[in-house]
Structure formats: C-alpha cells, structure tokens
C-alpha cells in the first residue's frame, strides 16, 4: 500500500508498528502522544516527519508535531498529559507505569524515553 499525502508535503513516510488498540486511539484523535524508547532510529524522528502507524492490515498516517526526550517514564509522566498518551482520566500513576513497562522493560527504559506528539495527516491510500 502506498500513501499519497494531499497536503503538499514532500517528507518521506516512516512506518512504525503499534498495538491495534493504540492505533485506533490515534486514528480517532483520542491519543496524540505516542511513547517510545529512544532507540537510535527513533532519535531521528523530528517535527514535520510523516509517521504511519501500522497494526496488521490497519494503518494511520500522522505528522509529527514534536518529539520530547525524557530520562525515565516517571519524568515523562511528570510533563505529558496522561489522557493524551491514551490513559483514562481515572488511571493511577502506578497503573500507567506498569502498563508502559509491560511494553518496555527497565533495560529499554535506560535508553531514554521519547514522547512523540502527532496529528492526523491528510491522506489517500492506494495499492502500490
């Protein structure tokens, strides 16, 4: 599948795998901040980049608004609004940290934490 971006952007499209539940939250606009570990390839993400989140046969094209780096998940939660990350308003901090750490164990967290703010990009999908 190929994306044709209809807002005159020339930025390349980066692809990132994501759990389906989070992809759907991004697609509806409920989740605007994606949390990632600062692997070297993720450190290259920058505002203005196009980012296609992919889960199975579902894809959601976004544009990066900002990328903020933190030392730990705790530091990130001190700054980022949990509801924008996809947590419910009644989620406790302990539950949020447990949820994130089920995806990224401590050895990954030590690489650093990125909060990637995204917005939906205008797109048309077509078979390549």
The pTM of the full predicted model, rounded to 2 decimals, is 0.86
Q: What is the pLDDT of residues 77-100, one digit of tens each?
A: 999 999 999 999 999 999 999 999
CATH classification (class only), 11-122: mainly beta
Q: Using CA atoms, how far apart are residues 111 and 101, in angstroms rounded to an integer?
A: 13
Longest distance between any two alpha carbons in the chain, whole Å:
44
Task: Report pLDDT for 114.
Answer: 98
Report domain extents, the chain.
Answer: 11-122
Q: What is the pLDDT of residues 9-57, one digit of tens each?
A: 566 899 999 999 999 999 999 999 999 999 999 999 999 999 999 999 9
pLDDT at 123 over 60: no
Q: How far apart are the first and last CA of the chain?
A: 5
Task: Report pLDDT for 127.
Answer: 47
Q: Using CA atoms, how far apart are residues 97 and 8, in angstroms rounded to an integer?
A: 39
């Amino acid at each position: 599948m190929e994306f044709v971006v209809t807002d005159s952007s020339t930025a390349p499209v980066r692809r990132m795998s994501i759990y389906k539940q989070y992809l759907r939250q991004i697609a509806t606009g409920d989740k605007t901040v994606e949390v990632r570990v600062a692997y070297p390839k993720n450190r290259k993400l920058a505002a203005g980049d196009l980012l296609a989140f992919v889960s199975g046969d579902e894809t959601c094209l976004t544009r990066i608004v900002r990328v903020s780096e933190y030392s730990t998940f705790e530091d990130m939660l001190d700054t980022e609004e949990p509801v924008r990350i996809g947590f419910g308003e009644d989620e406790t901090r302990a539950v949020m940290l447990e949820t994130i750490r089920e995806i990224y164990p401590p050895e990954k967290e030590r690489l650093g934490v990125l909060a990637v703010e995204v917005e939906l990009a205008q797109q048309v999908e077509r078979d390549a």
